[in-house]
Structure 1
């Protein structure tokens, strides 16, 4: 199946916006959904809608089977040892907060260290700020180079025997580059530290093997990989998850309750209190089926090739600044054009049917590093084509002309 045919599986793309064919270039914020996922959600609510694990009736059994089958799909997709290591959450943000609240606050004491970078999304920054404030741990930042990346040598110099946790993005949502998390994990473990990986931007674009990376925790969101909104995943090594306490208490996660004490279910259910995101998990499972049918290797090469193409086209536009290294980008380019504010740029592009992101992208520290209050970002996925890029470049040229008048 070619990528032009793949595009036809996304109903939302078959429309006009402001009189122009929609060119959707905001997949790093949220990807569109193929018809298979949409139909799955519809089928669940029309035929199988019931609470999971609690009922013996047919609808509950069907819902439970589909929900737990999705967990197995996720486990296989990222090559976890067991589905017990897969916790369903609301998204990457919830997953990182779970690790910060349940694991980091337990292992960190005054004077211990948490190592992160200034390229991190706020979801992988603010939880660690709070842990540091609560425990007295020291938040240490890996220094950035001029292009916004960091070197493995600088990282190694930051990690000491006082480091308890390292947390880093696998692929940056601003730079589109991959960090060497496998090497970072080896360095962290040498000093007895755990490593948390923000995989929100990586899981949609590349094959991920958490055992090969040897990361201790890995988080990602369904909505960035063609799945529904409101569903995410936390992978954690079983021995670490078993040591952690739940941070949400109530129905579904308990084993036994007395007047003043309670005990919890085994993994993974002790971290899934209350009615879970049933339809979201089932939809995520179908999204995984869809991506695997196409092939992650194929998706990765398509996204990288398309990004190379757009970078070459953008180089030809005068007074356009691109941020980050040029090579090995995964599906996005962040830029500013002339003296046009990114929000004004995005607004004009929208009148031409082109959807991009403008702002600080939840990365204010990285914006400060570049001396920019905001940037524009165009991000690409498996349903985008070179024709989308050509329309985007044409819209940029028209925007330049518009602001010169």
Structure 2
């Protein structure tokens, strides 16, 4: 694959991957406004975020095996079309319950972009090459959390929160065109899996019996939980507890994503010197320490908002190092079923995130509640790495050589 082809692939897949974070994050500045508009509670509105994450989790479990059976393109385009329809209906949602249900459907649709993009990368690359390209994609994905609240804040300057969903529908239409024109089929017919529901259940069973794979999937999911706890709680903490307005919140939220982006790109350099398993272990250790510091700052208010933000940004940077390497190591074990393995990985990531988001709301909307869930995700990820995966088993996991054929 030439450098130009690889660049085009990164742009197309990055655009597809970005629609997930945009769908999750773009309406964050409007959460307090939605609470007021529907005369409901912050916990109820946070459940609309949970609905999206739940849809993403379930959708990936369905779309992953489908993409292994019929190819990558058709499930992707169908999922994007469903996302467009759901986004359009969110514009006219009459209450928070309907909005929450439509957000589930949004998640189901956008799940296709997440699982298919990951499967396409695994079709073409594996091992360290997979982690390197995934880090490049995370540069694009990392830009989405920066742009999403800023775009949402910009939309809110001209219209209300419903306009955010108009924008998401328009983005979905654009991506249908991009996927139709710019993404070739990467799964040749002879590599597609057959056997229907029974074979799919059997394949999921075999994946779940692989202790190292399951452990690495849980590590990726718990790191994602820390990220989504921040996503769910930050708008209330920063706007209500610390008095930031919508634009200031968008800037603070975007600044945090810079740490995530910087870490994913630095990961490419680290991979030239260290194996991904070593980077993963170190990043989880740093993330755990930063998470515990975050809890201390939130509980005591020592250092005020700057100390809170800095510790948050270190956690995000640690997650930025963990998130490319844990999936790369996990998927290197099951390249023969990349779609299904990617689906299980994505389902766990977003499923755990779906639990983390309302947990912040249950504990409260203050900084301590958010900090406890953020830190808990990093502590649990490190514990799973040490107890379930075990460093000795991880040290023996050798990435497979890169595969670069395009079908």
The TM-score bracket by the shorter chain reads under 0.3
TM, length-normalised to structure 1: 0.26
More strand by share: 1
Which is higher, the Rg of structure 1 or of structure 2? 1
> Which TM-score applies when normalising by structure 2?
0.26
